[in-house]
Amino acid sequence: MRFFSFLFFALITSAPLFCQTVALKPIDAGLRIEIDGQLFSEYIVKNTPRPYMYPVIGAAGESVVRNFPMVKDLPEEKPWDHKHHRSLWFAHGSVNGMDFWTEDKDFGSQEHVAFGETKTEGNKASFTADTKWITHGGQCIMTDTRKITITALPEGEKFLDFDITLKASEGDVVLGDTKEGTMALRLCSSLSLKGEGAQGHAYNSADDKQKDIWGKHANWVCYYGPDPKGNAVGVVIYSHPSNLRSPTTWHARDYGLFAVNPFGLHDFEGLKKGDQDGKGNYTIKKGESLTLRYRFYFVKGKPKPNALEAKFKEYSAQ
């Protein structure tokens, strides 16, 4: 009996110390993601130039993204800037010459077509969505299928995996050489490096720090600091090593824009205009596709480089 009592005790004490459930709920604007009944984020597809996720709740229970332009008239976020920085999104500034990044004159839009497969299993849930890329004149020039997976971790930490397959369904697609892109997050002011209320810090896998992370090649980038309630948190983006031009370049700014962009070599590396084809520009031939994989990691406390690198290696093996 003593052996069985010990075995029972060992099984209990070695069991996970958390039991979380991720749920997906259809809403009028798109899809709501909850962890243990509490909002994590919503995937918004209506009344927007492109789908985006907002809010994004960090490891300490507070949103780690800026509220503007989804919510206006917030004194703590003035002056407003970059109205196209919608929380968490994927876009690019030159697709066959059309601007799909900003929301200024004659810009393109991403039209949500349909949600596909959804899965929920304990602390993990995923969904797919199909999207059309429509020019200002109403022409579809590209489609994509994106799969978003949310994994709840202990201590309120989370993974958000964003896998996207860009499809040259209508003809050749040229992803132009511009810094304006691509897989992006706009951080809240307290996690930014400069501006009113900024208390953030940043570093990357290549040991660049603060604003020097911009334009550099790295496997991952981390911002950390206080969330809006003063809790110590971190936000990390990993770029999977299978991605184009890995280790990739980053359009990660000191004012809070946090973006992965493998296409901006003209700006990041000073390529001459004639050198862009085959170096900065990237062409997807008609009928072919390009898949990009990213992981967002929402960390509790101050992230440690060795721990982040270990998680990158785990992600790389997937």
**Domains of the chain with CATH codes:** 18-71+81-316 (2.70.98)
Evaluate if residue 247 carries a pLDDT over 80.
yes
pLDDT at 279: 73
Please give the pLDDT value at position 78: 65
pLDDT of 115 strictly over 80: yes
Confidence class of residue 82 from pLDDT cuts 50, 70 and 90?
confident
How far out from the chain centre does Cα 254 lie? 17
Average of pLDDT values for 77-86?
A: 79
Average pLDDT over residues 8-25: 61
pLDDT of 216 over the 50 cut:
yes
Mean pLDDT score of the chain: 91
**DSSP E strands: which ranges in 45-175?**
52-54, 88-92, 109-121, 124-134, 140-152, 158-167, 173-175
Amino acid 143: pLDDT: 98
Give me 131's structure tokens: 């999207």
Report which of 1, 12, 89, 85 is spatially closest to residue 43, judged by C-alpha positions: 89
Give me the amino acid identity at 98.
M
For 78, the token pair is 């003035």
What six digits make up the tokens of 248? 């990739």
In the prediction, which pLDDT does 8 show?
A: 37
Please give the pLDDT value at position 277. 57
For residues 121 and 100, what is the distance between their CA atoms, to the nearest angstrom? 35
Please give the share of the chain, as a percent, with pLDDT higher than 70. Answer: 91
Place of tokens 């899965």: 119
The pLDDT value given to residue 280: 81
Predicted pLDDT at 240: 98
Contact between 37 and 57 under an 8 Å Cβ cutoff? The reply is no
- Average pLDDT estimate for 85-107: 95
Q: What's the rounded Cα separation, in Å, for the pair 22 and 32? A: 10
CB 161 within 8 A of CB 298: no
What's the whole-model pTM score?
0.92
Range of weakest confidence among 5-14, 46-55, 185-194, 241-250: 5-14
278 — pLDDT class (breaks 50, 70, 90): low
pLDDT of residue 270: 81
